[in-house]
Amino acid sequence: MSAARKLACAVLVAVCVGSLAADWLAPAGYAKQFREAPSAPPSRQHLLGTDEIGRDRFARVLYGTRISLLLAPAAALLSTVLAALVGGLAGYLGGIWIRLATALTDLFLSLPWLFLLITVRALLPLNVSPLFSVLITFLILGVLGWAASARVLSTSACSLRSSDFVLQARASGLHGARLFFVHVLPNLKPVLYAQFWISIPVFILSEANLGILGLGVAEPMPSWGSLLRELEGLISFRDEPWRLVPLFLLIVVMTSFQQVLSKEEVAA
Amino acid sequence: MLLWKIARRLLAIAGLVLLGGLLSATLVRFAPGFDTDERQLDPTLSADSVRALVESRSHEHNVLRFYLSYLKGALHGELGVSHALGQPVQKLLRDRWPVTLRVVGVGLLLAWLLAAALACIASLWQRAPGELLGTALSGAFLCIPAAVLALLSVILNTPGYLAVAFIVFPKTYRYTRNLLAKAYTLPHITAARAKGLGEARILAWHVFPVVAPQMAALAGISVSIALGASIPVESLCGLPGIGQLAWQAALARDLPLLVNVTVLVTLVTLLANSGADVIVHMLRSREA
C-alpha cells in the first residue's frame, strides 16, 4: 500500500470516527439554537461560528458528515445489489434476458445522471419530515444509480457463463440458482466490490447537488448538501472563510476516496 | 449492411426516446400534487370556472391516452401548452434552446481545450509541473459538486459556461491522459523515438491516430455530462435555458413541459453518442 493510500485511509477513518463521536465532540445538538448569537464568528464556544438562526456550525458539520458518510455507502450497497440482480443475472442467463437488461440500462443511461436524479427527486414529495427526506434522498440514489454498474456486471457475468469452471459445474449437473449463487456470484465479487466503492463518492456528490438545490435532506437535519447550501448567501470568501469548511471537508474526503480506489478497481 | 446497421440504430434511438418520454409522463402523473392547480384556490373564481379548470386537465389522468395524444400532436408540430408558464411548449423550447446551446457548447469547448492541452503537456514532458498541475486541477474539480461550482460561478461573477467547463474538464482530462499514457507505451512509438522523431511529431502522427476513436467516444459522453450539469448551473446562475426549464417543470409537475424536455434531452444525448459511434466506426475502418 502506497503512502498516499495509507494517508487517505487514515483521513477517512478519522473523519468517520469524528462524525460518529459527534454526540461527545459537538457542543450542542445540530438543531439547538443559540438565539443570542446568530451568525456569530468562530469563538471558543462555537468553533466554526453559528448560522443565521444561531445553530452551532461545528455541530452541524459533524452530524451532517455522519449522515452523508453513513447513508452514501447504504445507497451504494442498494445500487450494487440491484446491479448484481439485473446485470449479473441477465449476463448469466444470456439470450433474451441480456437484451432486456441492455435495453433497460440503455434507457437509464440515455438520460444524464444529474437530469434524472434532480427530476425524479423534484417530482417526489418535498414537504416531508427530515428523517423521511433522508430516506427518500438516499433511496433514490440507490434505486437510480445501478445502471452503469449493471452494464459492467452483465459483461463480467457473460464472460463467466462460458468459462471452464461454469461449464464443468453444468456438466456435473448444477443448474439454475445454485450455479449462480455458488459459482458465478462469488467470482463477481471483485467487480461488485469495485462498483460499490466507486458508487460511494458519486452518491456523496449527488446528495450534495440535491441538497444545494433544496431537494436533499430537509431542515433541521444537516447533511453535506444542506451545509453547502449556506454558500448561496456568501458574498465574498474573505468575509466569512469559515463557512467554506464543509466544502473543504468534502474535498478532503472525496480526494481520500480517489486515493483509496486503486486504478485497477476504477478500471474494473 | 451499413444501411441496415444505421436503420437499426435509428430505430433503437426512437424506441428509447419514446420510452424515456413515457417514463417521465408516468412519473409526473403519479407524482404527489400532480392534480392540483393554485388557481383552484382563487376565491374570485366561480364554481363553474374551477370545474372547467379541473376538466381542462382531465385528459392527462390516463397516462397512455395523454402520451398517445401528445405523440399525435408532436407529429403535427404541436407540443402542447405549459401549465406552469402558460405558454406553448414549442415557444418555450425555441426561446431557451440558444441559452443552453451556448452554456453547454462553450463549456464543452473550453473543457476539451483545457483537458487536451494539459494532457498533451503532461505526456510530452512527463514528471514536469504540467503533470502535477493537470492531476491537481482535475482531482480538485472532481471533488466539487456541480451545484457548488455553479454557486462559485455566481459568487465570483463568472459566466455559467465556465462552471460547465470545470464540471466536464476533470473526467475528460483523466480519460485523455490515461489514453495518451497507454498509447505512449506502444512499440511503434518507441521505434519512432529510436529513429529520432521529435515529440510533437510523434504526438501528432503516431499517438493521436491511435487514441482518436476513444476520444470521439468520450466526446459523446461529455455531451451527456454537460447537459446534466446545465440543470444546476442554469438554475443557480439564473440562466433561462432548457436546464432551468426542466427544473421548473419538475417542481411544478408540469406534464406537457417535462415530457417534452425529457424527450429532447434523451434525443440529444443519444444522437451525440450515436454520432460519436459513427466517428469511431469511420476512424477504425480507415485504420483497418
Least confident range of A45-59, A141-155, A184-198, B5-19: B5-19
Q: What is the mean pLDDT of residues A138-163?
A: 89
Confidence (pLDDT) at A21 = 92
Q: Is A113 in contact with B250 (Cβ distance < 8 A)?
A: no
Per-residue burial over A106-139, b = 16 or more CB atoms within 10 Å of its CB, e = otherwise: bbbbbbbbbbbbbbbbbbbeeeeebeebbebbbe
CA torsion sign for A149, B247, B114, B189 is positive
* pLDDT interval class at B234 (50, 70, 90): very high
Rounded to a whole number of angstroms, the CA Rg of chain A reads 22
* pLDDT interval class at A73 (50, 70, 90): very high
Taking CA atoms, A120 is separated from A25, B27, B256, B262, in Å, by 36, 8, 16, 12
* pLDDT interval class at A103 (50, 70, 90): confident
Residue from B35, B151, B164, B235 to probe the interface with A (highest A Cβ count within 10 Å): B151
> What DSSP line would sit under A237-255, residue for residue?
TTT-GGGGHHHHHHHHHHH
Confidence (pLDDT) at A7 = 92
Q: Is B246 in contact with A234 (Cβ distance < 8 A)?
A: no
* pLDDT interval class at B127 (50, 70, 90): low
pLDDT digits (tens, 9 = 90+) for B23-35: 888 877 777 767 6
Torsion angle (degrees, nearest 10) of CA A60, A66, A72, A75: -110
CB burial of residue A61 (10 Å; 0-12, 13-18, 19+): buried
Q: What is the mean pLDDT of residues B67-73?
A: 83
Least confident range of A8-22, A159-173, B40-54, B217-231: B40-54
pLDDT digits (tens, 9 = 90+) for B93-124: 999 999 999 999 999 999 999 999 999 888 88
Does pLDDT of A213 surpass 80?
yes
Which element (helix H / strand E) includes A14?
Answer: helix A3-20
Q: Which of B27, B140, B147 is facing A209, going by the closest CB pair? A: B147
Which element (helix H / strand E) includes A142?
Answer: helix A130-144
Does pLDDT of B288 surpass 70?
no
Q: B54-63: long-range contacts at Cβ-Cβ below 8 A with a sequence spacing of 24 or more?
A: B57/B83, B60/B29, B60/B255, B61/B29, B61/B35, B63/B22, B63/B25, B63/B26, B63/B29
**Cβ atoms of A173 and A182 closer than 8 Å:** no
Confidence (pLDDT) at A265 = 56
Chain B positions contacting chain A at CB under 8 Å are 12, 16-17, 19-20, 23-24, 27-28, 31-33, 139-140, 142-148, 151-152, 155, 224-225, 227-229, 231-232, 235-236, 246-247, 250-251, 253, 258, 262, 265-266, 269-270
Residue A31 Cα, gap to closest chain B Cα (Å): 24
* DSSP character at residue A217: S
Q: What is the mean pLDDT of residues B60-75?
A: 82
Task: Say which residue the cell 515529440 belongs to.
Answer: B199
Q: Which residues pair with A56 in a beta bridge?
A: A50
**Cβ atoms of A34 and A49 closer than 8 Å:** no
Q: Which of B32, B231, B251 is facing A115, going by the closest CB pair? A: B231
Q: What does pLDDT average to over chain A?
A: 88
Q: Give the integer Cα–Cα distance in Å for B194 and B206.
A: 14
Q: What is the mean pLDDT of residues A102-117?
A: 85
Does pLDDT of A266 surpass 70?
no
Q: What is the mean pLDDT of residues A29-53?
A: 89
Q: Is B228 in contact with A236 (Cβ distance < 8 A)?
A: no
Confidence (pLDDT) at A52 = 87
CB burial of residue A44 (10 Å; 0-12, 13-18, 19+): exposed
Residue from A109, A119, A253 to probe the interface with B (highest B Cβ count within 10 Å): A119
Confidence (pLDDT) at B213 = 87
pLDDT digits (tens, 9 = 90+) for A76-95: 999 999 999 999 889 888 88
Does pLDDT of B159 surpass 90?
yes
* pLDDT interval class at A4 (50, 70, 90): confident
Give B-chain residues touching A234 at CB under 8 angstroms: 151, 155
Q: How many CA atoms lie within 13 A of A40 on its CB side?
A: 21
pLDDT digits (tens, 9 = 90+) for B190-201: 898 888 888 888
> What DSSP line would sit under chain B, residue for residue?
-HHHHHHHHHHHHHHHHHHHHHHHHHHHHTSTTTT--GGGG-TTS-HHHHHHHHHHTGGGSSHHHHHHHHHHHHHTT---B-TTT-SBHHHHHHHHHHHHHHHHHHHHHHHHHHHHHHHHHHHHSTTSHHHHHHHHHHHHHHTS-HHHHHHHHHHTT--HHHHHHHHHHHHHHHHHHHHHHHHTTSHHHHHHHHTT--HHHHIIIIIHHHHHHHHHHHHHHHHHHHHHHHHHHHHHHT--SHHHHHHHHHHTT-HHHHHHHHHHHHHHHHHHHHHHHHHHHHHHHHH-
Q: Which of A107, A118, A209 is facing B19, going by the closest CB pair? A: A107
Give B-chain residues touching A122 at CB under 8 angstroms: 247, 250-251
Q: What is the number of residues in chain A?
A: 268
CA torsion sign for A53, A56, A59, A60 is positive
Residue A122 Cα, gap to closest chain B Cα (Å): 5
> What DSSP line would sit under A165-188, residue for residue?
HHHHHHHTT--HHHHIIIIIHHHT
Residue from B36, B143, B221 to probe the interface with A (highest A Cβ count within 10 Å): B143
Give A-chain residues touching B221 at CB under 8 angstroms: none
* DSSP character at residue A36: T
* pLDDT interval class at A113 (50, 70, 90): confident
Residue A89 Cα, gap to closest chain B Cα (Å): 22
Q: Give the integer Cα–Cα distance in Å for B211 and B185.
A: 12
Nine cell digits for residue B171: 473526467
Q: Which of A125, A232, A251 is facing B144, going by the closest CB pair? A: A251
Q: What is the mean pLDDT of residues A179-184?
A: 87
Residue B251 Cα, gap to closest chain A Cα (Å): 5
Torsion angle (degrees, nearest 10) of CA B187, B219, A84, A209: 130
**Cβ atoms of B177 and B134 closer than 8 Å:** yes
Q: What does pLDDT average to over chain B?
A: 86
Residue, of A200 and A121, whose pLDDT is higher: A200
Give A-chain residues touching B247 at CB under 8 angstroms: 118, 122, 213
**Cβ atoms of A258 and B136 closer than 8 Å:** no
Confidence (pLDDT) at B126 = 66
Residue, of B48 and A249, whose pLDDT is higher: A249
Angle CA A145–A151–A154, to nearest 5: 125
Cα B57 to chain centroid, rounded: 31
Confidence (pLDDT) at A263 = 57
Q: Is B246 in contact with A119 (Cβ distance < 8 A)?
A: yes
Nine cell digits for residue B263: 424527450
Q: What is the number of residues in chain B?
A: 288
pLDDT digits (tens, 9 = 90+) for A155-176: 888 888 888 888 898 888 888 8
Q: Which residues are within 8 A (CB) of B201 and not within 5 positions of it... i.e. 6 or more apart? A: none
Taking CA atoms, B211 is separated from B134, B215, B216, B280, B288, in Å, by 19, 6, 9, 10, 15
CB pairs under 8 A between A and B: 112
Residue from A107, A109, A111 to probe the interface with B (highest B Cβ count within 10 Å): A111
Residue from A68, A115, A252 to probe the interface with B (highest B Cβ count within 10 Å): A115
Q: Is B27 in contact with A119 (Cβ distance < 8 A)?
A: yes
Q: How many CA atoms lie within 13 A of B201 on its CB side?
A: 6
